[in-house]
Amino acid sequence: MCGISAYIGHREAYPIVINGLKRLEYRGYDSSGIMMYDGNKMIISKTKGKVSDLELITDEDEVRKVGNIGMGHTRWATHGVPNDVNSHPHYSQSGNLAIVHNGIIENYDTIKKELIARGYSFKSDTDTEVLINLIEEVKKTEGCKLGKAVQLALTNVVGAYAITVFDKEKPDEIVVARLGSPIAIGVGVENKEFFVASDASPFLEYTQNVIYLEDEEMAIIKLGRTVKVRRIHDDALVDPIIQKLQMSLDQIEKGGYEHFMLKEINEQPKAITDTFRGRMLLEENMIKMSSIEDNLDKFLNANRIIIIACGTSWHAGLVGEYLIEDMARIPVEVEYASEFRYRNPIITDKDIVIAISQSGETADTLAAIKLAKSKGAFVYGICNVVGSSIARETHTGAYTHAGPEIGVASTKAFTTQITVLTLIALKLGQANGSLPDYTFKKYIQKMQLIPRQIEQLLQIDEHVKSIADVYKNATNCLYLGRGFNFPVALEGALKLKEISYIHAEGYPAAEMKHGPIALIDENMPIFVIATNKGHYEKVVSNIQEIKSRAGKIIAIVTEGDTQVREIADHVIEIPETEEALTPLLTTIPFQLLSYHIAVMLGKNVDQPRNLAKSVTVE
Ligand code: F6R
pLDDT at position 543 is 92
Is 367 within a domain?
Answer: yes
Closest ligand 1 atom, residue 409 Cα:
7
What residue's CA is closest to ligand 1, atom 10?
312
Task: State the distance from the centre of ligand 1 to the C-alpha of 316, rounded, in angstroms.
Answer: 10
Alpha helix ranges (H) inside 361-436: 363-374, 389-393, 412-431
pLDDT at position 552 is 94
How far is 377 from 370, CA to CA, in rounded Å?
10
Closest ligand 1 atom, residue 414 Cα:
10
Per-residue pLDDT tens digits for 566-588: 999 999 999 999 999 999 999 99
Task: State the distance from the centre of ligand 1 to the C-alpha of 3, rounded, in angstroms.
Answer: 17
By three-state DSSP, how is residue 381 classified? strand
Residues 440 and 483 in one domain: no
pLDDT at position 99 is 98
7 in Cβ contact with 13 (< 8 Å): yes
- Residue 566's contacts (CB-CB under 8 Å, 6 or more residues apart) are none
Task: State the distance from the centre of ligand 1 to the C-alpha of 469, rounded, in angstroms.
Answer: 27
What residue's CA is closest to ligand 1, atom 3?
311
* Radius of gyration over every alpha carbon of the chain, rounded to an integer in angstroms: 26
pLDDT at position 375 is 95
Give the strand pairing for 217-222 and 173-179. antiparallel
SS3 content of the chain, % helix, strand, coil (to 5): 40, 25, 35
**Whether pLDDT at 78 is above 80:** no
23 in Cβ contact with 249 (< 8 Å): no
Torsion of CA 556, 611, 247, 184, to 10 degrees: -160
Task: State the distance from the centre of ligand 1 to the C-alpha of 226, rounded, in angstroms.
Answer: 36
**Whether pLDDT at 80 is above 80:** no
**Whether pLDDT at 133 is above 80:** yes
Residues 244 and 337 in one domain: no
Per-residue pLDDT tens digits for 471-492: 999 999 999 999 999 999 999 9
Mutate to test the pocket of ligand 1, among 310, 415, 606 (most ligand atoms within 8 A of CB): 310
By three-state DSSP, how is residue 441 classified? helix
CATH code for position 558: 3.40.50.10490
Residues 472 and 453 in one domain: no
Task: State the distance from the centre of ligand 1 to the C-alpha of 616, rounded, in angstroms.
Answer: 11
Told to judge if 495 belongs to the known catalytic residues of this protein, a careful annotator would answer no
Residues 335 and 358 in one domain: yes
What residue's CA is closest to ligand 1, atom 5?
311
**Proportion of the chain above pLDDT 90, given as a percent:** 85
pLDDT at position 611 is 85
CATH code for position 127: 3.60.20.10
Is 615 within a domain?
Answer: no
What residue's CA is closest to ligand 1, atom 8?
410
Closest ligand 1 atom, residue 385 Cα:
15
pLDDT at position 360 is 94
Per-residue pLDDT tens digits for 414-456: 999 999 999 999 999 999 999 999 999 999 999 999 999 999 9
**Edge-to-edge strand ranges of the sheet holding 476-481:** 503-508, 476-481, 525-530, 552-558, 570-574
Mutate to test the pocket of ligand 1, among 76, 359, 369 (most ligand atoms within 8 A of CB): 359
CA 391 remoteness from chain centre: 13
Q: How many domains is the chain built from?
A: 3
187 in Cβ contact with 212 (< 8 Å): no
| Ligand 1 pocket, Cβ-based, cut-off 6 angstroms | 310-313, 357-359, 362, 365, 409-410, 494, 498, 615
Question: Of the candidates 458, 492, 527, which is a domain's last residue?
Answer: 458
Is 207 within a domain?
Answer: yes
CA dihedral sign, ordered 384, 387, 391, 397: positive
How far is 370 from 387, CA to CA, in rounded Å?
17
Per-residue pLDDT tens digits for 299-308: 999 999 999 9
Is 618 within a domain?
Answer: no
SS (H, E, C) 509-538: HHHHHHCHHHHCCCCCEEEEEECCCCCHHH
Give the closest residue to 38 by CA, choosing from 6, 70, 9, 16.
Answer: 70
Task: State the distance from the centre of ligand 1 to the C-alpha of 161, rounded, in angstroms.
Answer: 20
Is 614 within a domain?
Answer: no
**Whether pLDDT at 36 is above 90:** yes
pLDDT at position 534 is 81
Burial bucket for residue 241 (CB in 10 Å: 0-12, 13-18, 19+): exposed
Residues 410 and 489 in one domain: no
Residues 432 and 542 in one domain: no
pLDDT at position 81 is 82
402 in Cβ contact with 251 (< 8 Å): no
Alpha helix ranges (H) inside 257-399: 260-266, 268-276, 290-293, 296-300, 311-328, 337-340, 363-374, 389-393
**Whether pLDDT at 82 is above 90:** no
Is 529 within a domain?
Answer: yes
Closest ligand 1 atom, residue 411 Cα:
7
Phi, psi for residue 197 in degrees, rounded to 5: -160, 165
**Whether pLDDT at 61 is above 90:** no
Residues 278 and 401 in one domain: yes
Residues 443 and 512 in one domain: no
Residues 115 and 222 in one domain: yes
Is 410 within a domain?
Answer: yes
How far is 70 from 7, CA to CA, in rounded Å?
5
Q: Is 209 left (phi over 0), alpha (psi -120 to 50) or beta?
A: beta
pLDDT at position 513 is 86
Task: State the distance from the centre of ligand 1 to the C-alpha of 477, rounded, in angstroms.
Answer: 21
Residues 188 and 162 in one domain: yes
**Whether pLDDT at 610 is above 80:** yes
Task: State the distance from the centre of ligand 1 to the C-alpha of 212, rounded, in angstroms.
Answer: 22
6 in Cβ contact with 17 (< 8 Å): yes
Per-residue pLDDT tens digits for 456-468: 999 999 999 999 9
Compare 326 and 255 and report the one with higher pLDDT. Answer: 326
Told to judge if 613 belongs to the known catalytic residues of this protein, a careful annotator would answer yes
Mean pLDDT of 270-291: 96
- Per the DSSP assignment, residues forming a β-bridge with 380 are 354, 396
296 in Cβ contact with 427 (< 8 Å): no
**Whether pLDDT at 178 is above 80:** yes
Which residue is catalytic, options 2, 310, 383, 477? 2
Closest ligand 1 atom, residue 614 Cα:
15
pLDDT at position 328 is 97
Mutate to test the pocket of ligand 1, among 410, 415, 591 (most ligand atoms within 8 A of CB): 410
Question: Of the candidates 188, 217, 251, which is a domain's last residue?
Answer: 251
Closest ligand 1 atom, residue 309 Cα:
16
Question: Of the candidates 196, 220, 251, which is a domain's last residue?
Answer: 251
**Whether pLDDT at 29 is above 90:** no
Question: 1: pLDDT confidence band, cut at 50, 70 and 90?
Answer: confident
Which residue is catalytic, options 222, 412, 495, 613? 613
Residues 271 and 403 in one domain: yes
Per-residue pLDDT tens digits for 191-240: 999 999 999 999 999 999 999 999 999 999 999 999 999 999 999 999 99
Q: Taking the chain, what is the end-to-end CA distance rounded to the nearest angstrom?
A: 11
Is 527 within a domain?
Answer: yes
Mutate to test the pocket of ligand 1, among 366, 386, 615, 617 (most ligand atoms within 8 A of CB): 615
- Per the DSSP assignment, residues forming a β-bridge with 36 are 43, 70
482 in Cβ contact with 539 (< 8 Å): yes
Question: 247: pLDDT confidence band, cut at 50, 70 and 90?
Answer: confident
Residues 490 and 501 in one domain: yes
How far is 70 from 58, CA to CA, in rounded Å?
13
pLDDT at position 504 is 97
**Proportion of the chain above pLDDT 70, given as a percent:** 100
How far is 386 from 224, CA to CA, in rounded Å?
29
Question: 27: pLDDT confidence band, cut at 50, 70 and 90?
Answer: confident
Query: How long, in residues, is the chain?
Result: 618
The domain of 241 spans 3-251
